[in-house]
């Protein structure tokens, strides 16, 4: 299982806080996962998940799109942070 979560503007844009996916070879990296989600979700997902400066974290560490994914990973997509 891969747990995917979305935050802030991305979550609102998608109307979705997150979803669980079975791990399979077509979601073996962050880039593959994003392609899979956009293929399923259509234009609004494509727009949200390819937003400029979108950040991806795997198991709560920021990663690049090439990051491989394993069964059990938690993957988060979020916009640039604005705390403090």
Partner 1 sequence: MSILSVQVQEGDFDPGRLQNELLGQAQEEGAVATFTGYVRRSNNEQNVHGMRLEHYPGMTEKSITETLEEAADRWPVHAATAVHRVGDLAPGDQIVWVGVSAEHREAAFSACEYIMDFLKTRAPFWKKELGDDGESWVEARDSDVQRAERW
Q: How many helices (H) and strands (E) does the chain have?
A: 3, 5
3-class secondary structure, 47:
helix
Rounded distance, CA 34 to CA 27, Å? 8
Question: Could you say whether residue 76 binds partner 1 (CB under 8 A)?
Answer: yes
Choose which of 20, 25, 42, 53 interacts with partner 1 (CB under 8 A): 53
Q: Where are the alpha helices (DSSP H) in the chain?
A: 8-14, 30-41, 43-49
- Residues in the chain, total: 84
Binding characters for partner 1, 5-44, by CB under 8 A (x = yes): x-xxx-----------------------------------
Q: Which is nearer to partner 1, 43 or 81 (CB)?
A: 81
Under the criterion CB under 8 A, does residue 1 sit at the interface with partner 1?
Answer: no
Contact footprint for partner 1 (CB under 8 A): 5, 7-9, 53, 57, 60, 62, 76, 78-84
């Amino acid at each position: 299982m891969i747990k995917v979560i979305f935050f802030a503007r991305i979550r609102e844009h998608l109307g979705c806080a997150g979803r669980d996916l079975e791990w399979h070879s077509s979601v073996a990296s962050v880039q593959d996962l994003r392609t899979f989600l956009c293929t399923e979700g259509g234009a609004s997902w494509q727009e949200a998940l390819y937003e400029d400066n979108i950040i991806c974290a795997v198991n709560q560490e920021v990663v690049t799109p090439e990051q491989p994914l394993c069964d059990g990973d938690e993957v988060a997509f979020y916009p640039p942070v604005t705390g403090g």
